[in-house]
Amino acid sequence: MNDLTGVNQETPVQSSSSAGPMPGQNFDSDMFLQLLVTQLRYQDPMSEQQDTGDMITQLTMFTMLEQVMSLQESLEEQTESLGNQQALGLLNQQVEITGLDGQPLKGIVSAIDLSSSEPKITVGGHDYPVSSVVRVEGVGAEDG
């Protein structure tokens, strides 16, 4: 009952070696760069069968990818620096935060910890992420 006449006998079977991605793997920039470099390595610019426009397009894509990756890295550094500056601006300020139990808590920021990926503030002897700050009030503004 099974008719195999429509099956292409010359279809290559993908081996389990590192020749290609396994099902479920995502294509990332490293894999793209590896494929592009491999393709460029085996291109013959003098061949009449090959379109040099394709090669130029691929080189342009490679350059654009490098620039985008560099821009992304710069933006991540700037974002981290901005987060640190914002946390430092909270030092000695009266803040209202959402506590670990979800309840609002008021206190003065006595310390800033910049050692983790997200800065932490110390309020009442406990550390909280800066993202838990709900309100900031200046200390001593009413003292005149």
Give the per-residue pLDDT at 111: 92
**What would the pLDDT profile of 89-126 be if each residue is shown by its tens digit?**
888 889 999 888 888 899 999 999 988 888 899 998 88
**What would the pLDDT profile of 124-139 be if each residue is shown by its tens digit?**
888 998 888 998 887 6
pLDDT category at 59 given cuts 50, 70, 90 is confident
Instruction: Note whether residue 111 is domain-resident.
Output: yes
Give the per-residue pLDDT at 79: 87
Instruction: Find the domain containing 98 and state its range.
Output: 90-137
Instruction: Note whether residue 21 is domain-resident.
Output: no
In the DSSP assignment, the letter for residue 97 is: E
Instruction: Note whether residue 128 is domain-resident.
Output: yes
Instruction: Note whether residue 118 is domain-resident.
Output: yes
Instruction: Give the full edge-to-edge strand order of the sheet including 94-98.
Output: 126-129, 120-123, 104-113, 94-98, 133-137
Using DSSP's 3-state secondary structure scheme, residue 13 falls into coil
CA distance 34 to 21: 12
Smallest CA-to-CA distance from 121 within 89, 73, 79, 143 is with 89
Instruction: Note whether residue 33 is domain-resident.
Output: no
Give the per-residue pLDDT at 72: 94
Residues 97/110, Cβ–Cβ less than 8 Å: no
Rounded average pLDDT over 2-21: 42
Instruction: Note whether residue 105 is domain-resident.
Output: yes
Residues 128/102, Cβ–Cβ less than 8 Å: no
Cβ atoms within 10 A of the Cβ of 84, count? 15
- The reply to whether the predicted model has a pTM over 0.75 is no
CA distance 73 to 10: 45
User: What total of structural domains would you count in the chain?
Assistant: 1
Instruction: Note whether residue 104 is domain-resident.
Output: yes
Give the DSSP H/E element, type plus range, for residue 41: helix 29-41
**Domain of 107: which CATH number?**
2.30.30.30
pLDDT category at 14 given cuts 50, 70, 90 is very low
Instruction: Note whether residue 70 is domain-resident.
Output: no
Give the per-residue pLDDT at 73: 93
